[in-house]
Amino acid sequence: MEHLDINHILRIYLDADADGAFQPFGCEERLRLAFPKDYSRVMKLASPYLDEHQSPDWSRGDLVEESNRFAETLRQKFPELDDICIRALANRWAFDYK
């Protein structure tokens, strides 16, 4: 069974660029096109990262500060993720609050 790199998977799903920007639409379609035979397996691998969430604490700061706090939480919980994926996941989280 081929080794699948979670950073590669998340970059495709999020369409993440080098700055961590992401495309919120067409995520599953991108992954299905990239992994037509392994789509279910790949989604199962990505799910824990995509399901991660935190409740914002608006008393601590604004959306940017809360996004940075979420990025730090991700960095600690998932040390296998690179900075691009961390930033893209944090931006995705912030997008949901806009």
Its pTM stands at: 0.91
Residues with Cβ within 8 Å of 38's Cβ and at least 6 positions away in sequence, in order, are 2, 4
Q: Note the pLDDT tens digit of each residue in 73-84.
A: 999 999 999 999
Sign of CA dihedral 86, 6, 81, 18: negative
User: Does pLDDT of 54 surpass 50?
Assistant: yes
Look up the domain containing 20 and give its range: 6-97
- In this structure, is residue 1 part of a structural domain? no
Measured CA to CA in angstroms, residue 75 lies from 10, 48, 81 at distances of 14, 14, 7
Contact present, 39 and 9 (Cβ < 8 Å): no
Q: Note the pLDDT tens digit of each residue in 1-50.
A: 457 899 999 999 999 999 989 999 999 999 999 999 999 999 999 999 99
Measured CA to CA in angstroms, residue 54 lies from 4, 27, 51, 70 at distances of 27, 21, 10, 7
- In this structure, is residue 34 part of a structural domain? yes
- The first and second tokens of residue 66, run together, are 């809360």
Report how many domains make up the chain: 1
